Amino acid sequence: MDKMTLESCEERIGYKFKDYFWLRKALTHSSIKGDERPSNERLEFLGDAVLGMVIAEYLFTRFKGRGEGELTRIKSVVVSRVTLAKRSEAMGLGSFISVGKGMLFSEALPVSVMANIMEAIIGAILMDGGIEPAREFTLNALSPDISAAVENQNRLNFKSLLQQFAQREFASTPTYEVIGNSGPDHDKSFHVVALIGSERFETAWGRSKKEAEQRAAELTYSSLLNGSPYGAPGAGEI
């Protein structure tokens, strides 16, 4: 990886490295075999921890009127694989990472790889310059995503958020089952339960099946993030 490429990457991320060792390491994927530079996996681990701390601290300090549950929801959106990958792609970071030949046949890098680049760069900045530049980069890079999450622009995407969570934690995709309805045909409400595998989670009512599914997904997602018990019939009924 030549100096010109590294300098171009620095311009994209807005940080000048004292030691290019850390940037090269952050941009080296584990699919490269036999390379003299270790891959970015350890920096991903470090960056993930810094990312969580920085976002949690910012939300805690900036939004004093919001409760733990709401702050957890916002944080989970901001630090999600999908958000990090989209931000990494928007910054053009994928063009700088070195990957093995087997990955060069793909039209685009996987979401996990794009998300990991962001975490690795955060870790690299920390090692090169300390916590303050790492914090500054993280907040500057993710500022649009923090604003969107705070403004609840993702509210209608709880089914997607729950799906990501369930696939990661349970290796299963959520499904939804109508367990009841009420009202006349022209003004019917639906009662839906969210299921992950064979486990029944939260239930919710809605004026349409789609609305009920979204609300059940939101309740289930929130309860799982907060470590609440699940599987009890009727839990979370509203």
**Which among 131, 103, 135 is positioned nearest to 39, based on CA atoms?**
103
Q: Which stretch of DSSP H or E encloses residue 224?
A: helix 209-225
For tokens 């939300």, what's the residue? 59
Residue 187 is encoded by which pair of tokens? 């003004």
SS3 at position 59: helix
Beta partners for 192? Answer: 178, 204
**Among residues 119, 128, 145, 218, which one is catalytic?**
119
List of domains in the chain? 3-153 (1.10.1520.10), 156-225 (3.30.160.20)
The pLDDT score that the predictor gives to residue 235 is 34
- Which sign, positive or negative, has the C-alpha torsion 222, 225, 226, 227? positive
**Which among 104, 123, 102, 105 is positioned nearest to 41, based on CA atoms?**
123
Is 145 catalytic? The answer is no
The pLDDT score that the predictor gives to residue 72 is 83
Residue 238 pLDDT class (50, 70, 90 cuts)? very low
**Among residues 10, 41, 44, 48, which one is catalytic?**
48
Rounded Cα gap, residues 206 and 210, in angstroms: 8
Q: Is the pLDDT of residue 74 over 50?
A: yes
The stretch 123-129 carries a mean pLDDT of 97
Is 119 catalytic? The answer is yes
The stretch 2-30 carries a mean pLDDT of 93
Residue 227 pLDDT class (50, 70, 90 cuts)? low
pTM across the whole model = 0.66
The residue with greater pLDDT, 186 or 197, is 197
